[in-house]
Chain A
């Protein structure tokens, strides 16, 4: 049988980087092919070539055995290729129907939009592929999981035969992700062909028919979920053995380092986004806040680090009330903050690595004497951290914008963890990073905990929370639903709580003592 899609010898060179090195890929009809690789391995470049955003330097693309030229996304759509982007391309104030028909409008009487016709088609698609959505709903009112379904419908509406999913689970709860996998399966069963880009091993094993691993721009192996396991995939991806389990010894936590009492934070529209949250973190323990993104974690973190004013309650750090303190005062008390969005908050991208490494401390001795910056000291400090934290950069003077995501994050980790701190606020510390970097950063965080630092970890990645935390607080719609000991819960139970489902009676009874103790 002719594969529905075939890429032959695709090569793309960027200045200094061979992003794709003679990549061959074939996709059969009705198949789910997982494209696995670390960030920067060349997955996105390859897909951007397929979607017409880049032109390959060499190589050919065949669809149903016929050679095609794809020089723009329009060509790609015409060739039956559709892409679900990691960040949705939806217009929040349009309805589902309007979003779906955008650029592909049904019209009547000349140029008037025919919403009825579009809605009918959408309902048909929704029924065929089991994607329940209401065409008349406004997109901004829909949960993220449903928005993603709208994205998929958009492709099906354009009669795409080849669907590319680019890291589709990044924004979903585990349950939503499972539902997405079901949808992907049913799409495949009905003859659609799917390329699934990810760096999450579990997902690949769950959903793919075939797995292709890319490293440094080249295909390093092909396998199937039956033949592979997490460890072998990780080793292929990274090129060496990787320990996927964080090694961590049981420790008895010490004194309370940070105590949050009845904290209320309102957003700029005066909606309560952090709703009477109380939490304590002790020295030498990691408390993980589990929750789907957008349930108040960001605002909670901003309140703790002084970036946002709270409207009620109290935060005490090392015995000092910091409810009204500025970020610098909080930092100087001995706290560190790994921010959620490293490029927007954590780094000044055009600045050299060395300056970013002293972003929070440049004004103090020994980096400044009087008003004069001591560049010699700053550079020496940078060289030391670059070695200690294995930051891959051509030099300490290279702008951080030129570093890879993993190394940018290492710059932040190095800056924050190299200070003598007693409290670490780590917000999504491994967001978008590859397996190798995740392993490294996890090790560093656990090491800080072992040194007696109190760590508050916020992450939408349940795996990360489960692996690192000593205790887990589940946040849902601004409230902390429960605080439980890590050892007392399963991943499924936490996953359910993340979706707002409170534990059942017997569950509550079983874990009651734990919950009581921690509240």
Chain B
């Protein structure tokens, strides 16, 4: 038997299986891939359509045009929508015309600035990837980590401290050290609720929320007290980190695209490898999927919860660390625009799979980035993106709506959950 091709094919199968969980084995692989992505993709499409309606419905110019005539109103509405979405597109991906002409001219600076919107979207996506992975790994381990935001703050504070307090180290040591400090801080912040769950049964949802508040107030105190920037006059802001601790940006300002994005991709791969290729991952997933069976099989459920929370926290800490070291370069309170909470949505849209999380993060980063331009060009408030995200998330969380709209067939396993084996029964 040839090993290599079989292995590849099998790896593909395993991947599908994981994404598809619990999959429908009777269908062809192609269909099961569609099964996996159908709901998120259609949710996004539907979200954009509803967003379009909202844009038209909240615009006073559209109302005024409808006052003149119906045709006038309709064309104005379409016009508004296309302007807005065009701005969203050029703001997040780039202007195709500009890209082509820049490539044609061969001028390096023109090319860079033509690609800047897209690169900026990736910059926005980076903390999302880390935070989304944190929630996804938690879900896989049977833990609902709502404390990502707090872990992110603690991680950021630790990375900042190592970043400015230690001096004289070469970049090759200082930068990873600061980044790992962020991970470690987040891990500690995640580990505490994990420990509480394992030893006292205290629910991690409650405890991570409480840990969030502790983290917010603690960082506030740190930034205005021990970690305050000299001469900041009471402003809660930290000193700038040393240059040696900075994660490098690839191009000159204003392009902020940095190495952190690739670190995020690497970490996503690492999380995938950990979850699906190692015995620790199988341990975490088994406890996550069925703690009773895990106990039966001889796994240490308590240890698994603690480990899961610590790794999840570490990933959240990295989200904070990467923002400090690569983008902000110092810590202030406006560090996070809700990455920790959006990350729950990311994990859900990404089906708790690292690859899904990466894709969902890039989508969210793109939307966030494009929305800024949309606001400038068509004066549509940036909050429309929040609404868009919320709608997409709702559709992903309640797939029955999407299936209803697009007449998709339910996967077999869901149809059968309700009635078979003695209606309402199952357990005696």
Chain A residues with CB under 8 Å of chain B are: 14-16, 44-45, 48, 51, 53-54, 85-87, 89, 166-167, 171, 293, 305, 307, 326-329, 331, 337, 339, 344-352, 355, 359-360, 362-363, 367-368, 371-373, 375-376, 379, 394-395, 397-399, 401-402
24 contacts between A and B (CB under 8 A): A16-B26, A53-B419, A85-B422, A85-B423, A85-B424, A85-B425, A87-B424, A307-B296, A327-B296, A327-B298, A331-B298, A344-B290, A344-B293, A345-B292, A345-B296, A347-B293, A371-B280, A372-B278, A373-B281, A375-B10, A397-B13, A397-B17, A399-B22, A402-B25
Known contacts A15-B409, A371-B280, A375-B10: A359-B293 contact under CB 8 Å: yes
A364 and chain B: residue at smallest CB distance:
B279
Residues of chain B within 8 A of A337, CB atoms compared: 296
Is B14 within 8 A of A397, CB to CB?
yes
Is residue B92 within 8 Å, beta carbon to beta carbon, of the partner chain? Answer: no
Known contacts A87-B424, A87-B425, A401-B22: A359-B289 contact under CB 8 Å: no
A367 and chain B: residue at smallest CB distance:
B279
Among B24, B283, B298, chain A packs the most CB atoms within 10 A around the CB of B298
A45 and chain B: residue at smallest CB distance:
B420
B138 CB → nearest A CB, Å: 17
Is residue B203 within 8 Å, beta carbon to beta carbon, of the partner chain? Answer: no
Residues of chain A within 8 A of B3, CB atoms compared: 376
Residues of chain A within 8 A of B415, CB atoms compared: 14-15
Residues of chain A within 8 A of B290, CB atoms compared: 344, 347-349
Is B413 within 8 A of A15, CB to CB?
no
Please give me the 3 A-B residue pairs with the lowest Cβ-Cβ distance, nearest first: A328-B298, A87-B425, A350-B22
Residues of chain B within 8 A of A16, CB atoms compared: 26, 412
Is residue B196 within 8 Å, beta carbon to beta carbon, of the partner chain? Answer: no
What is the CA–CA distance of A345 and B293 in the complex, to the nearest angstrom? 4
Residues of chain B within 8 A of A327, CB atoms compared: 295-298
Is A48 within 8 A of B10, CB to CB?
no
Is A89 within 8 A of B424, CB to CB?
yes
What is the CA–CA distance of A234 and B283 in the complex, to the nearest angstrom? 42
Is A53 within 8 A of B292, CB to CB?
no
Known contacts A347-B290, A348-B286, A399-B22: A359-B422 contact under CB 8 Å: no
B6 and chain A: residue at smallest CB distance:
A376
Is B282 within 8 A of A48, CB to CB?
no
Residues of chain A within 8 A of B14, CB atoms compared: 375, 397
Among B14, B278, B290, chain A packs the most CB atoms within 10 A around the CB of B290
Residues of chain A within 8 A of B297, CB atoms compared: 327, 359-360
What is the CA–CA distance of A307 and B301 in the complex, to the nearest angstrom? 12
Is A171 within 8 A of B428, CB to CB?
yes
Q: Tell me which residues from 242 to 288 in chain B have a Cβ below 8 Å from any Cβ of chain A.
A: 277-283, 285-286
Is residue B7 within 8 Å, beta carbon to beta carbon, of the partner chain? Answer: yes
Residues of chain B within 8 A of A45, CB atoms compared: 420
Is B425 within 8 A of A86, CB to CB?
yes
What is the CA–CA distance of A348 and B299 in the complex, to the nearest angstrom? 13
Is B424 within 8 A of A379, CB to CB?
no
Is B413 within 8 A of A401, CB to CB?
yes
Is A376 within 8 A of B7, CB to CB?
yes
If A355-B282, A360-B297, A401-B413 are given as contacts, then 7 extra A-B residue pairs at C-beta distance below 8 Å, sorted by A number, are: A86-B425, A87-B427, A167-B422, A344-B292, A348-B294, A375-B10, A397-B25
Is A359 within 8 A of B286, CB to CB?
yes
Is B419 within 8 A of A363, CB to CB?
no
Is A395 within 8 A of B25, CB to CB?
yes
Residues of chain B within 8 A of A328, CB atoms compared: 298-299
Is A14 within 8 A of B412, CB to CB?
yes
Q: Tell me which residues from 329 to 346 in chain B have a Cβ below 8 Å from any Cβ of chain A.
A: none
A488 CB → nearest B CB, Å: 33
Q: Tell me which residues from 373 to 428 in chain B have a Cβ below 8 Å from any Cβ of chain A.
A: 409, 412-413, 415-416, 419-428
Is B279 within 8 A of A362, CB to CB?
yes
A344 and chain B: residue at smallest CB distance:
B292
Is A360 within 8 A of B298, CB to CB?
yes
Residues of chain B within 8 A of A89, CB atoms compared: 424
Is residue B176 within 8 Å, beta carbon to beta carbon, of the partner chain? Answer: no
Is residue B68 within 8 Å, beta carbon to beta carbon, of the partner chain? Answer: no
> Which of A329, A350, A402 is B289 in contact with, Cβ under 8 Å?
A350
What is the CA–CA distance of A64 and B289 in the complex, to the nearest angstrom? 49
Is A44 within 8 A of B421, CB to CB?
yes
B178 CB → nearest A CB, Å: 27
What is the CA–CA distance of A14 and B418 in the complex, to the nearest angstrom? 14
A361 and chain B: residue at smallest CB distance:
B297
Is residue B236 within 8 Å, beta carbon to beta carbon, of the partner chain? Answer: no
Is B22 within 8 A of A349, CB to CB?
yes
B420 CB → nearest A CB, Å: 6
A10 CB → nearest B CB, Å: 16
What is the CA–CA distance of A427 and B428 in the complex, to the nearest angstrom? 16
Is residue B73 within 8 Å, beta carbon to beta carbon, of the partner chain? Answer: no
Is B25 within 8 A of A326, CB to CB?
no
Residues of chain A within 8 A of B17, CB atoms compared: 352, 397, 399
B14 CB → nearest A CB, Å: 6
B274 and chain A: residue at smallest CB distance:
A371
Residues of chain B within 8 A of A399, CB atoms compared: 17, 21-23, 25
Is A346 within 8 A of B412, CB to CB?
no
What is the CA–CA distance of A344 and B293 in the complex, to the nearest angstrom? 6
Residues of chain B within 8 A of A346, CB atoms compared: 293, 296
> Which of A48, A51, A87, A373 is B426 in contact with, Cβ under 8 Å?
A87
> Which of A85, A329, A339, A371 is B279 in contact with, Cβ under 8 Å?
A371
What is the CA–CA distance of A507 and B424 in the complex, to the nearest angstrom? 44
Is A368 within 8 A of B279, CB to CB?
yes
A9 CB → nearest B CB, Å: 22
B235 CB → nearest A CB, Å: 46
Residues of chain B within 8 A of A360, CB atoms compared: 297-298
Residues of chain A within 8 A of B298, CB atoms compared: 326-329, 331, 360
Residues of chain B within 8 A of A367, CB atoms compared: 279
What is the CA–CA distance of A330 and B416 in the complex, to the nearest angstrom? 37
What is the CA–CA distance of A519 and B428 in the complex, to the nearest angstrom? 33
A461 CB → nearest B CB, Å: 15
What is the CA–CA distance of A399 and B290 in the complex, to the nearest angstrom? 14
Among A349, A376, A379, A397, chain B packs the most CB atoms within 10 A around the CB of A397
Residues of chain A within 8 A of B425, CB atoms compared: 85-87
